[in-house]
A = this chain, B = another copy of it.
C-alpha cells in the first residue's frame, strides 16, 4: 500500500531522456539518477525502460554513444545529443505543450 509508483507517461520518455542528455554527455545509469533527482523522486525510471529507450534513440540518430570512464572509475556509455536529436527534442517539447494545452481545455470545462 501507499505505493507511490510513478510510471512515466507513455510517449514522454523519449523527450525526458533527450532533455537530460541535452544538459551534457551523461551515461545511462546517470540519466535515471538525474531524472529522479530533478523530478524530486517522482520519476523512478526502470532499467528495463531505460536501456531499450537509449538504444532506440541512438538507432534513430538522436543520440550518439561513446564509452568513457565515469566519475566513479567505471566504464560507462556516455550519450550526447546529435543535431538531429536537438531538433527532435524541440519538436517533442512543442508537441507536449500543445497536448497539455488541449488537455487543460478539457479539464477546465465546467458543467
A50 within 8 A of B: no
- The yes or no answer to A6 lying at the interface (CB within 8 A) is yes
For A9, the chain B residues whose CB sits under 8 A away are: 9-12, 99, 103
A40–B10 touching, CB < 8 Å:
no
**In the assembly, what is the distance between CA of A22 and CA of B106, in Å?**
11
Q: Which residues of A are interface residues toward B (Cβ below 8 A)?
A: 6, 9-12, 16, 19-20, 22-24, 35, 38-40, 42-43, 93, 96, 98-103, 105-107, 109, 111
Chain B residues contacting A100 (CB-CB under 8 Å) are 100
Hey, which chain B residues are within 8 Å of A35, CB to CB? 106
Closest 3 CB pairs of A and B: A10-B10, A42-B102, A39-B102
